[in-house]
Structure 1
Amino acid sequence: MLSNIKKTTLIAATICGLLLPSMASAAVRPQLTRIVAYAEDKETPVEIINDSDEAYLVQSWLEDLNGNETNIPLVLTPPVMKLAGKTEGKLRVVVLPAEIPQDRESVYWLSIQEIPPKAKEEVQNKLVLAIRSRLKVFVRPKGLDAKAAADAVKSVTWNVEREGGKVWLKATNPTPYYISFGKLELKAGGGKPVVLEDKFNMPAPMGSQRYQVPKSLVGKSATLTYSAVNDYGGGGEELTKGVKL
């Protein structure tokens, strides 16, 4: 039953999003843009709000970064709830400490799907939009904290790689935290800053991530400016590095 609801509302959201991208806005939305869950906490609240005047059903679920919903070491409750108009609600995330990596952060997607009320019979030709909000849940084992997470971006090292006629900037992350770039751009000479594609791809803990350099900048000396998003969704200190592309 719930699976069918999810499929139906997702299809509706996709179709409506294609037809009316500028008009669609969520009635039900999370209060924050990201969630940080600590394994040692009993639970982590996820506050949501219904901006509409009408009551909505809300379905929520967790996935890993590859879209898998099985073997998630988190418990999310309630999976379905009713939220009256102009009211706030709360989801709860419980971490299963023994089942998460103990030496680094892990991250999952939380999807919050609104299920609109049925249109009244006297209303004809009414288009009902079902919008899904999606945010990341960062899970931290015991020993990892917010201060070190905020400083993690300062430990990132950058290298220029060339492969198949393309040039890449490789970010190596030696820390146990995911790095979410708020700003990632190159500027050469007096030109305008160029935002690197795929800047939302995160260097994993103790891993790396590559970002392709635009052809217009290849062969030039440029300044890389970057910053990380903090636990509250805000931008952190901007850092710079000179690179020869």
Structure 2
Amino acid sequence: MAINTKQWMSGLLVLLTSISQSYAGISLDRTRLIITGEDNSASANLTNTSSSVPFLAQTWVEDVDGKKITSPLVVLPPLQRINGGQKGVARVSKTAEIDKLPQDRESLFYLNVREVPPKPDKPNTLQLAMQSRIKLFYRPTAVIPKSKSEVWQDQITFTKQGNTWRADNPTPYYVTIISLNDKLIDEGGKKLTSFPGVMIAPKSSLDIEVKGAADKFTMMYVNDYGGHPELKYSCSGNTCKALPIEQQPR
């Protein structure tokens, strides 16, 4: 079937315009949200990045299997209008079912935010609504760190098994590893792993593929604030542990 060049270019222009407009919408101010046993609620800030177009923000919580839930955590309001250039708040609160969660380790959920754009005023316009999904952790009172600067990720150990290394997480926290590198990124470190990031559940292990051999390396992880610090590791035989705190980058 012949394609009319003028129609094709017109359709492409509409698509590109819609994609460009889709970058303006509802954005979250963080990549993860933590609610502790001592908190009544935890909030994420929403911003309408369009200067003039109002958007609706639809919010909900999912469990670890991706199922929508309203207990033991619920987010309010489930739907709100945010005018151009304005901000809103998604507030996650606990319900009475929170005590049924494990109290000796974190539990994982997901906070979802979907933007709902206004109805287009032009016919045959393709709209692209963006959706954000961030990790939502419930951290029981018993495992709240004593200090906000506490680093527990250095308790992760690795056991070499050829090109497969077993990462052991003895902590009560979820630990997200961005990469293993042959040295610090600021020193020109190169990746020993190919994954974009892996998350190890509390008190569990995970096998990861590693390229090449290394007796010294660094682990880049995600902290509570979404930052990507690094830890130095050294190996004795097939067992690799983090160096003492005084030998870690500051």
Q: Give the TM-score category using the shorter length.
A: 0.7 to 0.9
Note the 1:162-177 alignment, pairs <5 A: 162=162, 167-177=163-173
Contact 2:61–2:70 (Cα < 8 Å) also in 1: no
Matched residues, number: 213
In structure 2, the partner of 1:40 is: 38
Structure 2 counterparts to residues 69-88 of structure 1, below 5 A: 69-70=68-69, 72-88=71-87
Deviations along 1:100-157, one digit per CA (max 9) or x if unpaired, are 210001111111000111001xx34433210001111111111222437841111111
Between the aligned partners of 2:49 and 2:220, the Cα distance in structure 1 is 32
Aligned-partner SS, 1:44? strand
Moved more, 171-180 or 149-158: 149-158
Is there any run of 5+ residues in structure 2 with no aligned partner, and where? Answer: 1-14, 239-250
Q: Residues 72, 197 of structure 1: CA spacing in aligned structure 2 closer, same or farther, 3 A cutoff?
A: farther
Q: Which amino acid aligns with 1:56?
A: F
Let me know the Cα RMSD of the aligned residues.
2.7
CA contact (8 A) 1:149 1:177 kept: no
Q: How far 1:186 sits from its partner (Å)? A: 4.3
Q: Could you say which residue in structure 2 is the equivalent of 1:230?
A: 223
Superposed displacement of residue 235, structure 1: 2.2
- 1:159-178 per-residue CA deviation (whole Å, 9 max, x = no partner) reads 1125xxxx311110111111
Deviation at 1:208, TM superposition (A): 1.2
Percentage of matched positions with identical amino acids: 32
State the distance in 2 between where 1:30 and 1:213 align. 33
Q: Give 2:234's aligned residue.
A: 241
Say if 1:51 and 1:195 are closer, same or farther in 2 by CA, change over 3 A.
Answer: farther
Following superposition, the deviation at residue 64 of structure 1 comes to 2.1
Partners of 1:193 and 1:244 in 2: how far apart?
A: 22
User: Is the contact between residue 181 and residue 218 of structure 2 (CA under 8 Å) also seen in structure 1?
Assistant: yes
TM-score by length of 1: 0.76
Q: Report the CA distance shift for 1:243/1:48 in structure 2 as closer, same or farther (over 3 A).
A: farther
Mapped to 2, the partners of 1:158 and 1:210 lie a distance apart of: 9
8 Å CA contact 1:186, 1:222 repeated in 2: no
Partner of 1:6: none
SS of aligned partner of 1:238: strand
| Cα deviation digits, residues 162-197 of structure 1 (max 9, x gap) | 5xxxx311110111111122443347xxx9612523
Cα distance in structure 1, aligned partners of 2:90 and 2:160: 43
CA distance in 2: counterparts of 1:71 and 1:161, whole angstroms? 43
| Cα distance, 1:243 vs structure 2 | 7.8
Identify unmatched segments of 5+ residues in structure 1: 1-18
The aligned runs of 1:26-175 (5 Å cut-off) are 27-52=25-50, 53-70=52-69, 72-96=71-95, 97-120=98-121, 123-146=122-145, 147=147, 150-162=150-162, 167-175=163-171
Worse overlay, 221-230 or 32-41: 221-230
Counterparts of 1:148 and 1:208, CA distance in 2: 25
Q: Matched residue of 2:217: which SS?
A: strand
Q: 1:199 to 1:224 in 2, by over 3 A?
A: farther
For residues 237 and 224 of structure 1, do their structure 2 counterparts lie closer, same or farther at Cα, with a shift above 3 Å needed?
A: closer
- The 1:208–1:88 alpha-carbon spacing in structure 2 relative to 1, beyond 3 Å, is same
